[in-house]
Structure 1
Amino acid sequence: MKSRKQSVFPQNGVMEQTRYQVRFDWAAEGAHAIGSDADVIVWVDAITEPGADLDLSLLPSAPAVIRVDLPSAQAAAQWIIDLQVKLAKRILIAVVAAGSTRDGQLRVTTEDLLAAGAVIDHLAALGLDATSPEAAAAEAAYRGLARATSHLMTAVSTAATTAPENYQLKVDATLTPADVQVVRG
């Protein structure tokens, strides 16, 4: 008989968030932890740093992958709803914040946390609110700081090393699902 702890945590010690429709984690390792059984990986990169291309070979091979920044958060949420309708089933969504690296290690970035939270918030507004605690925390960060997002996006350390034309400061409600960058369909 498995103990309660063993039934919640897989052998590798990572909680997979499998009970939840909307999940959240960081970087390629997080994509594998929460996205191997997902229908779509939402790769969130709010400020794309020079030379920081998305390497699909580092992600689980099965799910669709869309690339999202802060402006496209609302459009991405609608794209996901449209996918769920098209597939005619409850889909699993892995929202993965890209983060950055520092000395070869993951650097959790405020801008990616806020943009991921914006996607999760818009999913909830459209009725997908079976979120993991991790996703709920990202959503709460965005909701709590939504009015300050523009300021935060210009003040984060990543913005100091990235040209302003490489990122936007707020959600763009004029974007549609057709504007979502589908990296793998």
Structure 2
Amino acid sequence: MSETTPAAPAAQAKYQVRFDQGPDAVHRIADGVHVVVWVDQTTDAAADSPGDAPIVPRAVLDAAPDRAAVLAANLRDAAAAAAWVLAEQERLGRRAYLAIVAAGRADGGFAADDVLAAGAVIDALIELGIDDTSPEAAVASAAYAGLRRAVAHLATASAEGRRAIEEGVEPGSLRREAARDASASVRVAREGAPA
């Protein structure tokens, strides 16, 4: 008789929608998922062509399960990413398990802008009926829902927003990337395996 080791609590394995922060989060919560959504609000705004191309670090792509699709998302395309996930679930013909990962700060600290943007993705998933969320995902969604009217300001006023401005990113770029659901495009860094 073989014994199976239960997943660590941090893995959130029993939930369809999981949430964590930082590149190492992919190792913690992505086991067995069908889609990884990488959420990096400020880096997207700092890119030469914000909103156009998926910006997903190589370490995240490498850590994601081989068969999992990987998306990039932020406040600007959260609803589009959620709609893509729903279509992917329909393509798979079964419940799709998801890892929503907020990039976080380079020093490992809390990144309010990324958590709000990840919360926007989770909130959009819930609106589409994908609502088996871990407590961590529910908290991120609630943070976004409670602060929905202020997210553009918070994205620029956050520590990461201020750092980006100090490094030369135009405040207007930060505000454009924080315009909720302004883009219907989906940034797919890697397609999922065939169903």
TM-score range, shorter chain: 0.7 to 0.9
Partner of 1:111: 113
Partner of 1:172: 181
User: Which consecutive residues of structure 2, in runs of 5 or more, have no partner in the other structure?
Assistant: 48-54
Question: Quick check: 1:28–1:59 contact (8 Å CA) kept in 2?
Answer: no
**TM-score (ref. length: structure 2):** 0.80
Q: Deviations over 1:127-151 (max 9, x none)?
A: 0110000000000100111111121
Secondary structure at the counterpart of residue 67 of structure 1: strand
Mean CA deviation greater in 41-50 or 163-172: 163-172
- Measure the CA separation in 1 of the matches of 2:172 and 2:40: 14
Residues 53/31 of structure 1: CA separation in 2 closer, same or farther (3 Å cut) = closer
- Measure the CA separation in 2 of the matches of 1:53 and 1:108: 19
Q: Deviations over 1:18-64 (max 9, x none)?
A: 11100001122111111121000000011107698611224443311
The reply to whether residue 44 of structure 1 matches residue 39 of structure 2 is: yes
Question: Quick check: 2:7–2:13 contact (8 Å CA) kept in 1?
Answer: no
The reply to whether residue 70 of structure 1 matches residue 75 of structure 2 is: yes
Letter in 2 for 1:91: A
The reply to whether residue 93 of structure 1 matches residue 93 of structure 2 is: no
How far has the Cα of 1:161 moved from its partner? 2.7
How far has the Cα of 1:83 moved from its partner? 0.4
Question: Quick check: 1:39–1:91 contact (8 Å CA) kept in 2?
Answer: yes
Partner of 1:3: none
Q: Deviations over 1:87-120 (max 9, x none)?
A: 1111001100011212xxx122000000000000
- Measure the CA separation in 2 of the matches of 1:53 and 1:107: 19
